[in-house]
Structure 1
Amino acid sequence: MTARTLVAGVGMIPFTTPRTSGTYDVMGERAVRAALDDAGLDYTRIQQAYVGWVYGDSTSGQAALYRVGTTGIPVVNVNNNCSTGSSALFLARQAIEHGVADVVLALDFEQMQRGALALAFTDRPTPMDSFGQVVARVQEPSDAPFAAQYFGGAGREYAQRYGMDPAVFAQIAVKARRHAANNPYAVFRDPVTVEEVLGSPHIYGPLTRLQCCPPTCGAAAAVLVSEEYARAHGLKTDVAVAAQAMTTDSAATFSGDSMVRIVGYDMARTAALRVYEQAGVGPEDIRVVELHDCFTTNELLTYEALGLTAEGTAEKFIADGDNTYGGRVVTNPSGGLLSKGHPLGATGLAQCAELVWQLRGQAGDRQVQGVNLALQHNIGLGGAAVVTLYEKVG
């Protein structure tokens, strides 16, 4: 790292269901303007932009940004499945730290359709073929949505390995709603009980409907700047990117018969270890985390992948309340993907916005006290994992 990267501004719009959503370009424009306002910058100061989404036509990034301005800057479009938002952030940070630019915008949005995720093309090999081969060896055929089969299977494997009652997963959905109640950007803010979660329609393995993230639309953005530029122009210098790592699958993902590995456990663990090493901290130093809870099962797995609790101890971690306010580390104060919503491309930068607000002390009733470090975890099957550590400066 050659130049320190600061987060000068963040912005997002309230997430919505597909039925009530605006179009991606309008959502993107709103998020950019919010981030620029937060940074105190005009769009003409942006030198590069990295824009991500999963479902949409090529150069959708330009379509959204042209609503803000047509300044001729490089616009790079990014698609890395559900890790798209953090992948754009990863690229923007690299541009700052290697001196390519001083002011870089990361923008992500998603205009989703109703219903479960589906592959867009049926006339060519899919990026999930090698993953599907493992799934076919491990699990029985099912008509359930493919993502639920993957993450439901991983949860079932974990529960069997450690003798855990699968009903424990439902407690995570209850916690997510409780946190989301204080988030005006979240889609689902009404409380639920464990009984209601378990009584909702069965999807696959231990998963019921209320344990699966819903299709959501939204947008989020971040303005990254070099520390030198921020100080020279009187911009915010209170939040920095302390460390960041991106990983993809290793051969071990496909050589065994483990659904836990198939859904990105090893990628997340490796990225987290690299981040801790870069920053010279450990998971015991973290008090707030936004992690990729696309399903309750994945939140539980991620507790251990990030080192928040030792392998095989997630059940006790939950039972002791160490994943929420009053416990050791508040996970997903925003309500997470389960309750805030999961507009695929926008998720990573929405996580970024929440953690920046936490570090600034601007999270309102969601505020975690005494926060100096904040950890972000964002994954996409296919696969990519991005772990980012933010720190409070000064």
Structure 2
Amino acid sequence: MYKNLAAAFAAACCISSAFSQSAPAAPPLKIGFVYVAPITDAGWVRQHEEGRQAVEAALPGRVKTTYVENVPEGPDAERVIRDLARQGNKLIFTPSFGYMEPTLKVARDFPDVKFESITGYKTAPNVATANARYYEGRYLAGIAAGRMTKTHVAGYVAGFPIPEVLQGINAFTLGMRSVDPKAVVKVVWLDAWFDPPKERDAAMTLFDQGVDVISFHTGSTAVMAAAQERGKMAVAYHSDMRKVAPDAQIIAVTHQWGGYYTQRARAVLDGIWKSGDVWGGVKEGMIRVGDFGPKVPKAVQQEVLARQQDIAAGRLQPFRAVTDVRDNEGHVVIPKGGALSDAQILQMNWLVEGVQGRIARRAG
């Protein structure tokens, strides 16, 4: 009997060994990321880098990620994206608006690779798009700025006049004027996403024009550092920037990409990835405000966080009008009681009343 048991055990071991040899563990999913600027301590790229790290932490051993930083939009982007596909990356994230067309071009040549065009709007069978409702955070930051300003004059350093940036400027202004009807917002266009010296110069120019609170839509911490230097107040964007501006920061509007990136990586691993379009905000956990600076009274903090809960619950929409909303040329853009549809928000091409500036039309 013992011989039979030993023989059976030996046979089982052989079968197990043969099965192990014939079914090795699946190789990890290779995932590539392309960053439009260098990785710094805070900013747009930092938040996507934290998203990449979140994927690694959530799926240990199942994914292998890589990134290329400081890749300009245009031909360089296409070359880098194509290289990542050739290197065997089966999921590639391209988080910059100017990466959209290069991503689509490469995707046509690599139909077995999945691409995620972050802030893009054109999809394909193997290209999904995703973006966040940054304007929700901007509106909340505007409330904080409206409570903190003494001059009733805010500044806004902006990269390019694309709809996403216009949404942010307008939501910030509407939020600010909801608590300070006299508030105005002065805009400076840079025609760049990441140019720290230029960002700093723009901030200093605005401070010289009576601005005491400033916001921005660029990629570095230069505006925050300028506010700290000049003793002004500022709204951090993309990341918490209190390390750079411990006294100047009023609030931070932060982007949370880890959950979305992990979900999409899991979908590829599980064989259920599909192209689509995601536009998430406060409700979905992709946008949040907080990280208040030391000068912000508790009452203001509580007010802003309460409005954040209202947005999450659908009780507050930045582009819903209690009274007629006009652009800064006097035209009604949201009639009383009305609200903009997602399509109208995504095609925004005007500046709201209270904004001092014009949309910088690009030549060409």
User: What's the TM-score once normalised by structure 1's chain length?
Assistant: 0.25
User: What's the TM-score once normalised by structure 2's chain length?
Assistant: 0.27
Larger relative contact order (CA 8 Å, sep ≥ 6): 1
